[in-house]
Structure 1
């Protein structure tokens, strides 16, 4: 059901410093996006294109951000979630629910302008999973 790995999300307490580290030390400037605020998700994000996937750097946007809660437990930041592409998010949700995996909330539009949903980490081997529809026309 899942497709390719779209991105690996890394929470950071300092998005500017993390983006600069990737830009200056680990990637070319063209591979690091400008920051994008996503108030509906409570984050500001920067994407680093590695060629075969992306890294999503996440900084909390407000006190109620899920990333703020993550950073309370992990002050240095760290791996937050893995995002996999699916051809049809509605079908994927039905499939995972039927197999006993809990879906967290309702689908929302993600950073790429496509519908996304998160799966409960306790049902996914301790890893928070995000499913992202591969096009806006499915389902």
Structure 2
């Protein structure tokens, strides 16, 4: 019997960082990242964001993307990420993000099984609809659910 919900591809791990430039330098110089997007502001979410691309299976010709690392830094003291940094001055893993083919169906599923959804569905950093599920309902991890971007369908 097929479950009511199927786990999608892990799109990214979100890391809150106190200094975006230092974090980018770390991924390039220490971790050997060759593709890091230009940081951009998301004022509606109170964060500056950039993505570190990890290699996928695309090297073997099938085009599968690697998982990304999303770097998040607060735009100001009112950002939810600022609170995270206040508790974790070095930064750290903030959330995990999984893709789903239909965001409305996924939201209805999580809501229907009593999981606490944090805020409305909104457009995320990839330009697709997202929502977050409370960490207390997700084994201690803030979980982002994201509609699969069209370029990875």
- Describe the SS at the equivalent of 2:84: helix
- Whichever of the two has the greater Rg, that structure is 2
CA RMSD of aligned residues (A): 1.1
Match of 1:79 in 2: 93
Question: What is the TM-score when the length of structure 2 is the normalising length?
Answer: 0.85
Q: How far has the Cα of 1:135 moved from its partner?
A: 4.2
Q: How far has the Cα of 1:24 moved from its partner?
A: 1.9
How many angstroms apart in 2 are the aligned matches of 1:42 and 1:113? 16
Which runs of no fewer than 5 residues in structure 2 stay unpaired?
1-5, 56-65
Query: After TM superposition, where is structure 1 displaced by more than 3 Å over at least 4 residues in a row?
Result: none
Match of 1:11 in 2: 16
How many angstroms apart in 1 are the aligned matches of 2:91 and 2:76? 16
1:38 equivalent to 2:52? Answer no
User: How far does the alpha carbon of each residue in 1:1-48 deviate from its partner, in whole angstroms, 9 at most, with x for none?
Assistant: 22100000011100100001111221343x111101111111001100
Which runs of no fewer than 5 residues in structure 1 stay unpaired?
none
Match of 1:60 in 2: 74
- Give the counterpart of 1:48 among 52, 74, 83: 52
Question: What is the TM-score when the length of structure 1 is the normalising length?
Answer: 0.93
